[in-house]
């Protein structure tokens, strides 16, 4: 490293070294100096229309590539990234939030500088709640070490971190000759060996073990290990909604998405009658648990995450999640026969009914399933978009993204921008409710600016449909936008008004053909129509009442 490397340059170098190639955000005077450094670096700045959108884009980028970054100005920008940072924290996505800030020399005598809320550290305090590590780079002596510490925490815990840059120090050199710290975290070998021995005995004694694979398999890049484990042993694998696409869904050992009563009945029965559930990177969120309809017995479970390892009622400390999963791959587990497994049923082939047959949610998802190809990444927003998408048949791994735990509306359109930069070979299929679209849909402007080509399907049921099923009122109604006409406003893209099956079919064929730009399908649905998944949940809950 050059002896004159500045704090700003070092941050850029470390982001690059950890796989970041794009930084999402909006500049402001407190961060303009760093934007200049970014523009002259190997990283590419992607301007979004709003900081919240930059946050969602960086989160999705991190989910696909392993680390994401957003760069904004002090408070007015930073505080808009609060909600996406909360989502990234809750759903374990490593995003580096970089915020400009007043220079240290400007802070003397506590002047009322613009954008300051209360104290100079107010924004940092907010982010301390939402991140696993945070720092203000106000001391050149330790700035490089701080950058390493914080980025390492993001990678170690797969959660967001916060870095604040006082604007008068970004060009200041750090310590000459500094070498990036090497972080090694090892499992305690005795704990690991004992945990693996207990797990091996439990699994081998079981008649019907099953693996439940969730989000941390994605985040820790353990998909190959999971595949190997399943191939070697023929122990079937179910995913969760948050973990969906953890493996390609065509594998013979893949059961489908398990989500208690909300999911398919055959998967529920198989998983819940297992005498050894091996939960890998699995979080007991209410949605993963099918709104608490899941019936899983801890006395028959192995529960491994980056935070905790529990076998039945035994806890093991100091065992890294990766080491445990890799250990299972090497363990002497007896192979099984793949017989009578429930398998995801490919949705029936879609033949559009002619004429004026109105499109329904169920038929829409059947048609969307046929649209998926090997390079489609499905990005689903909250609402029936997410529930309905659970039944789509995903071809390859990491091709399904949805905020299935924190569940903030407005994720999908900006996330699709992040997805396409993270994997330029992909074409996102965005499935989004009209309510969520009205929050962040104008981020399609970024698709225009950078020539991206997502296919955006707006489920236009004229309101907050999911909520209508719980409690209806005028507060669930929306102003009906002419979504399909937005390309006119944005100056690019193709819009389609879809009311019938035939129109849907034609629009999707056209969207497939016109891959030079984005497509926006405004799909008119009955306000009370809903996907089979929502229907299932309602029926099973009704039986319990």
Ligand X SMILES: Cc1ncc(C[n+]2csc(CCOP(=O)(O)OP(=O)(O)O)c2C)c(N)n1
Residue 158, Ramachandran bin (φ over 0: left; ψ between -120 and 50: alpha; else beta): left
| Cβ-based nearer residue to Mg ion, 453 or 466 | 466
DSSP state of 430: E
Q: Which does 467 bind (CB under 5 to 8 A by kind): Mg ion, ligand X, none?
A: ligand X
461 binds Mg ion (CB under 5 A): yes
Kindly tell me which of 196 and 382 has the beta carbon lying closer to ligand X: 382
Nearer to ligand X, 33 or 433 (CB): 433
For the record, the structure tokens of 344 come out as: 């995801």
106 binds, among ligand X, Mg ion, none (CB under 5 to 8 A by kind): none
Rounded Cα distance, 83 and 291, in Å:
23
Residue with smaller CB distance to Mg ion, 290 or 465: 465
Chosen residue from 434, 501, 505, 529 binding Mg ion by CB under 5 A:
434
Q: How far is the CB of 387 from ligand X (least distance, A)?
A: 8
| Sole residue written with tokens 């389609």 | 496
Where would I find the H helices in 122-222?
122-128, 143-157, 189-205, 215-219
CA-nearest of 224, 243, 240 to 232 is: 224
Question: Site for Mg ion (CB under 5 A): how many residues?
Answer: 5
Is 465 a binding residue for Mg ion by CB under 5 A? The answer is yes
Nearer CB in complex with Mg ion: 174/435: 435
Token digits for 195?
């945990």
Q: State the Cα–Cα distance between residues 216 and 189, nearest whole angstrom.
A: 22
SS3 category, 93: coil
Of 327 and 433, nearer to ligand X (C-beta) is 433
Length of the chain: 545
Q: Does 433 bind Mg ion (CB under 5 A)?
A: yes
Token representation of residue 233: 């042993």
| Nearest distance, CB of residue 428 and ligand X, angstroms | 17
**Candidate segments 276-284, 340-348, 352-360, 461-469, binder of Mg ion by CB under 5 A:** 461-469
Report how far residue 191's alpha carbon sits from residue 213's, in angstroms, rounded to the nearest whole number: 23
Binding site for ligand X (CB under 6 A): 382-385, 407-410, 433-436, 459, 461, 464-467
Residue 94 binds: one of Mg ion, ligand X, none (C-beta under 5 to 8 A by kind): none
Picked from Mg ion, ligand X, none, the partner binding residue 409 (CB below 5 to 8 A depending on kind) is ligand X
Q: Is the dihedral of CA 404, 408, 413, 414 positive or negative?
A: negative
Shortest spacing between CB 468 and ligand X, in angstroms? 8
Give whichever of 428 and 465 is closer to ligand X, judged by the CB atom. Answer: 465
Q: Which stretch binds Mg ion (CB under 5 A): 121-129, 194-202, 214-222, 463-471?
A: 463-471
| Binding segment (CB under 5 A) for Mg ion, from list 9-17, 50-58, 237-245, 459-467 | 459-467
In angstroms, the CA 474 to CA 506 distance is 34
Pick what 407 binds: Mg ion, ligand X, none; C-beta below 5 to 8 Å, kind-dependent.
ligand X
By C-alpha distance, which of 125, 35, 37, 47 is closest to 79? 125
CA count, 13 A, side-chain hemisphere, 287:
23
Residue 526 CB, nearest distance to ligand X (Å)? 11
Tokens, residue 305? 């995450």
Provide the strand spans (E) within 365-518.
Answer: 376-380, 400-401, 427-433, 455-460, 494-498
Span interacting with Mg ion, options 28-36, 70-78, 296-304, 464-472, rule CB under 5 A = 464-472
Residue 311 in tokens = 């076998």
**Residue 490 partner contact from ligand X, Mg ion, none using kind-dependent CB cut-offs of 5 to 8 Å:** none
384, interface contact from Mg ion, ligand X, none, CB < 5-8 Å by kind: ligand X
Q: Which is nearer to ligand X, 87 or 214 (CB)?
A: 87
User: Which contiguous run of DSSP H or E holds residue 503?
Assistant: helix 501-513
Binding site for Mg ion (CB under 5 A): 433-435, 461, 465
């Amino acid at each position: 490293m050059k002896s004159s490397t500045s704090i700003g340059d070092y941050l850029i170098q470390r982001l690059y070294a950890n796989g970041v190639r794009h930084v999402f955000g909006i500049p402001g005077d407190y961060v303009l100096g760093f934007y200049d450094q970014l523009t002259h670096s190997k990283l590419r700045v992607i301007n979004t229309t709003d900081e919240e959108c930059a946050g969602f884009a960086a989160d999705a980028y991190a989910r696909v590539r392993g680390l994401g970054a957003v760069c904004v100005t002090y408070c007015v920008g930073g505080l808009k990234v609060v909600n996406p940072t909360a989502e990234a924290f809750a759903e374990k996505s490593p995003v580096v939030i970089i915020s400009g800030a007043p220079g240290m020399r400007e802070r003397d005598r506590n002047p009322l500088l613009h954008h300051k809320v209360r104290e100079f550290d107010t924004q940092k305090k907010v982010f301390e709640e939402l991140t696993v590590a945070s720092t203000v780079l106000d001391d050149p002596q330790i700035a490089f070490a701080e950058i390493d510490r914080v980025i390492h925490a993001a990678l170690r815990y797969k959660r967001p971190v916060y870095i604040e840059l006082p604007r008068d120090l970004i060009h200041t050199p750090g310590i000459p000759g500094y070498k990036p710290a090497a972080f090694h975290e090892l499992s305690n070998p005795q704990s690991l060996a004992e945990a693996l021995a207990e797990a091996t005995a439990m699994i081998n004694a079981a008649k019907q073990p099953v693996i439940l694979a969730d989000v941390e398999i994605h985040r820790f890049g353990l998909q190959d290990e999971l595949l190997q484990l399943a191939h070697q042993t023929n122990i079937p694998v179910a995913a969760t909604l948050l973990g969906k696409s953890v493996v390609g869904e065509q594998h013979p050992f893949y059961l489908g998405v398990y989500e208690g009563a909300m999911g398919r009945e055959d998967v529920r029965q198989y998983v819940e009658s297992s005498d050894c559930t091996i939960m890998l990177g699995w979080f007991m969120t209410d949605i993963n648990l099918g709104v608490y309809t899941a019936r899983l017995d801890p006395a028959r479970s192995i529960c491994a995450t980056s935070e905790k390892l529990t076998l039945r009622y035994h806890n093991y400390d100091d065992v890294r999640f990766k080491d445990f999963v890799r250990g299972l791959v090497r363990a002497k587990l007896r192979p099984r026969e793949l017989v009578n497994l429930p398998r995801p049923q490919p949705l029936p082939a879609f033949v559009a009914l002619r004429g004026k047959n109105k499109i329904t949610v169920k038929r829409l998802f059947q048609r969307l399933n046929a649209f998926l190809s090997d390079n489609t990444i499905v990005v689903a927003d909250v609402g029936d978009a997410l529930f309905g998408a659970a039944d789509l048949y995903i071809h390859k791994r990491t091709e399904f993204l949805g905020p299935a735990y924190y569940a903030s509306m407005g994720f999908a359109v900006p996330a699709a921008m992040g997805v396409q930069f993270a994997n330029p070979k992909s074409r996102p299929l965005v499935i989004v409710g009209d309510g969520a679209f009205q929050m962040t849909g104008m981020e399609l402007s970024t698709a225009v600016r950078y020539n991206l080509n997502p296919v955006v399907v707006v489920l236009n049921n004229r309101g907050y449909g999911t909520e209508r099923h719980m409690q209806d009122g005028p507060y669930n109604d929306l102003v009906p936008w002419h979504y399909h006409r937005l390309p006119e406003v944005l100056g690019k893209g193709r819009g389609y008004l879809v009311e019938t099956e035939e129109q849907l079919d034609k629009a999707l064929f056209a969207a497939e053909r016109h891959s030079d730009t984005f497509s926006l399908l405004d799909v008119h649905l009955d306000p009370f129509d809903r996907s089979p998944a929502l229907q299932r949940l309602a029926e099973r809950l009704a039986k319990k009442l």
